[in-house]
Amino acid sequence: MAGAARPLRVLFLCTGNSCRSQMAEGWARTLHPESLDAYSAGTNPHGLNPLAVRAMAEAGVDISGHTSKPVEALACVGFDAVVTVCDAANKGCPRLPGPAKVIHAGFDDPPRLARNARTDSEAMPHYRRVRDEIRRFVESLPQALTGEPTMNDRTCCGESCCTPATSTAPATSTAPAAHAVREQVREGYAKIAQGGCCGPSGGGCCGAMTFSPEQLAKAIGYTPDELAAMPDGSNMGLSCGNPTAIASLRPGEVVLDLGAGGGFDCFVAGPKVGTTGRVIGVDMTPEMLTKARRNLATYVRQTGLDNVEFRLGEIEALPVANASVDVVISNCVLNLSPDKPRVWREIARVLKPGGRVAVSDLALLRPLPDSVRTDMEALIGCVAGAVLVEEMRAMALAAGLSEVTLTPKPQYIDAMTNWDDPLYRRIVQALPAGAKPSDYITSLDLSAVKR
């Protein structure tokens, strides 16, 4: 596909060809008219959704002339790629002529999200949010399909990422390196999601699984009752702390989990905020979102609660409205970002006045040797991307947060070493003689408040 002179033919497929696939087609035709020849269809089409038309019109894209069509109507088109935008379409994706690459990018269903809305005005925020998620995905789609940069690569200047990248950027620009790191991390976590709990060295995010995810969770403070209530597969051993334990969650609060993975901390937080609260999990890896949404059905069945949702997005550009969240939690994720100051600014942006942060992460007590910092496996293992403890404090303060409290927990690192984790064994080999990982790395609880 990379060498094709013509635009790539891409089919966006969902069940009803009513909303999400129509939005995706509209964005593709608007953002990439020269590189993508976009179509949409449904496995069971049932008409164009007027609120989807309205949401796209607000963003300057007219899809009012689109029609809802069955996928069979496009059987004669030789597609280069099929993008399934809902889980049902992904499971029942029909076999189409040609060597089409199938990509799953599941998005929430706006009509389902808005089912309790009393008016169109109440429903529209759900359509706008999914619309914007789809745009972010489509913006980078040509690059994902071909591996080549596109004219729509962006250098961010704010929430809208509105400045096109140009050849006049200085040679020292970190944007390409940041993109490469993000894509390698995304690929690593996609493999973890697809393999259950198997990371690059045979284990999870923060170390290889020489012990079970349940053993790790108990060791870092999750209660037996919390673990017993978890949907199977949501705990993948990706934690380095228990942010819900320091968040003091209360009924009725809106909680945002950065890097939700399979939904583990979201499912812990859900019962704490109850029927009047809401938990939003954000993850940049479609495979993780698919896993989390499959776990969601079990959570609803076991708890009787329908208060958790998952959104596709990057933590440097959260798909969440300004001042809409009471508590932000995150578990061993912030260190993976190539632009940590921007993550902290995003946290401050989405928090309500008086909102709070409860983060468990890995941080450095002193700089790591270069051989560890440049090891991508260690980065996916939550180590190489960690910053010094005081740097983390400075970033939170610079973002406008206050009452920043840092609590190092080096015993977590000692436990990983004592469990003979392969990742930490490699780190030991790279350290000066007589040194141990906990001399350099610590698990850290961070709490802060937005005033």
The residue from 147, 166, 181 where one domain ends is 147
**The most confident of 107-116, 246-255, 419-428, by mean pLDDT:** 246-255
More confident residue, 84 or 229: 84
What is the DSSP code (8-state) at residue 70?
B
Residues 230 and 120 occupy one common structural domain: no
Tell me the pLDDT tens digit for each residue of 346-370.
999 999 999 999 998 888 888 877 6
- Residue 446's DSSP bridge partners are 359, 406
Q: What is the structure's pLDDT at 142?
A: 86
Residue 173 placed within a domain: no
> In CATH, what number is assigned to the domain containing residue 68?
3.40.50.2300
Quick check: is 157 in a domain?
no
Give the other-Cβ count within 10 Å of 194's Cβ: 12
Same-domain status, 86 and 219: no
- 61 belongs to a structural domain: yes
Q: How confident is the model at residue 272 (pLDDT cuts 50, 70, 90)?
A: very high
**pLDDT of 8:** 92
**Do residue 252 and residue 370 come from a single domain?**
yes
Per-residue model confidence (pLDDT) at position 168? 29
Q: Are residues 285 and 377 in the same domain?
A: yes
Token pair 């894209």 in the structure block, residue: 61
Two tokens, residue 422: 């392969």
Percent of the chain surpassing pLDDT 90: 31
Whether residue 202 sits in one domain with residue 136: no
- One domain, residues 202 and 79: no
**Higher-scoring residue by pLDDT: 96, 181:** 96
How far apart are alpha carbons 291 and 161 in whole angstroms? 29
DSSP-assigned states of every residue in 234-256: S--S--SS-HHHHHT--TT-EEE
Cα–Cα distance for residue pair 342/330, rounded to 1 Å:
15
Q: Is the residue at 191 inside a domain?
A: no
| pLDDT level of residue 136 (50, 70, 90 thresholds) | confident
* Average per-residue pLDDT for the chain: 76
- Range of 168-172, 292-296, 434-438 with top mean pLDDT: 292-296
Domain stop point among 113, 147, 181:
147
Other CB atoms closer than 10 Å to residue 112's CB: what's the count? 9
pLDDT at 287 over 60: yes
Q: Are 216 and 130 members of one domain?
A: no
Q: For residue 168, is it within any domain? A: no
Give the domain extent around 278: 196-450
Closest among 255, 237, 241 to 189, alpha carbons compared: 237
For residue 279, give the nearest of 304, 302, 253 by alpha carbon. 253
- The type of residue at 151 is M
Q: Of the ranges 3-7, 260-264, 307-311, which one carries the lowest mean pLDDT score?
A: 3-7
Phi-psi region of 382 (alpha: psi -120 to 50; beta: other; left: phi over 0): left
Token pair recorded at residue 375: 């090891």
| Three-state DSSP string of the chain | CCCCCCCEEEEEEECCCCCHHHHHHHHHHHHCCCCEEEEEEECCCCCCCHHHHHHHHHCCCCCCCCCCCEHHHHCCCCCCEEEECCHHHHHCCCCCCCCCEEEECCCCCHHHHCCCCCCHHHHHHHHHHHHHHHHHHHHCHHHHHHCCCCCCCEECCCCCCCEECCCCCCCCCCHHHHHHHHHHHHHHHHHHHHHCCCCCCCEECCEECCCCHHHHHHHCCCCHHHHHCCCCCCCCCCCCCCHHHHHCCCCCCEEEEECCCCCHHHHHHHHHHCCCCEEEEEECCHHHHHHHHHHHHHHHHHHCCCCEEEEECECCECCCCCCCEEEEEEECCHHHCCCHHHHHHHHHHHEEEEEEEEEEEEEECCCCCHHHHCCHHHHHCCCCCCCEHHHHHHHHHHCCEEEEEEEEECHHHHHHHHCCCHHHHHHHHHCCCCCCHHHCEEEEEEEEEEC
**Above 50 in pLDDT, residue 315?**
yes
Asked if residue 287 lies in contact with residue 190, where contact means CB atoms within 8 angstroms, the answer is yes
Query: Is 25:12 a contact under the CB 8 Å cutoff?
Result: yes
* 87 inside domain: yes
Window from 31-45, 164-178, 277-291, 437-451 with minimum mean pLDDT? 164-178
Q: Is residue 86 annotated as a catalytic residue, yes or no?
A: yes
Task: Kindly state whether residue 188 falls inside one of the protein's structural domains.
Answer: no
Instruction: Work out how many domains the chain is built from and give that number.
Output: 2
User: Where does the pLDDT of residue 1 fall: very low under 50, low under 70, confident under 90, or very high at 90 and above?
Assistant: very low
Contact 53, 120 (CB under 8 A): no
Residue 310, pLDDT > 50, answer yes
* Selected residue with higher pLDDT from 151 and 382: 382
The residue-averaged pLDDT of 417-431 equals 63
The residue with greater pLDDT, 298 or 98, is 298
Asked if residue 106 and residue 254 are part of one domain, the reply reads: no
Cross-strand pairs, 279: 255, 308
Evaluate whether residue 1 is within a structural domain. no
CB proximity list for 18: less than 8 A, separation 6 or greater: 42, 45, 46, 47, 48, 49, 52, 68, 111
Other beta carbons within 10 angstroms of residue 293's beta carbon come to: 19
Average pLDDT score over residue span 70-76: 88
* 215 and 100 in a common domain: no
Average pLDDT over residues 111-127: 87
Q: Please say which residue of 147, 171, 188 terminates a domain.
A: 147
Of 19, 86, 205, 382, catalytic:
86
- What's the whole-number mean pLDDT along residues 221-226? 62
- In the numeric block, which tokens belong to residue 194? 């697809």
Same domain flag for 123 and 232? no
Please report which confidence band the pLDDT of residue 312 belongs to, taking 50, 70 and 90 as the band edges. Answer: confident
Higher-confidence residue of 187 and 113: namely 113
* CATH number where 439 lies: 3.40.50.150
Tokens 């495979």 sit on residue: 287
Show the 3-state SS of 392-411.
Answer: HHHHHHHCCEEEEEEEEECH
pLDDT digits (tens, 9 = 90+) for 333-350: 888 888 889 899 999 999
What does the alpha-carbon distance between residue 387 and residue 364 come to, in Å, rounded to a whole number? 6
**CB count in 10 Å sphere of residue 196:** 15
Q: Are residues 143 and 205 in the same domain?
A: no
Same domain, 13 and 118: yes
**148 vs 146, which has greater pLDDT?**
146
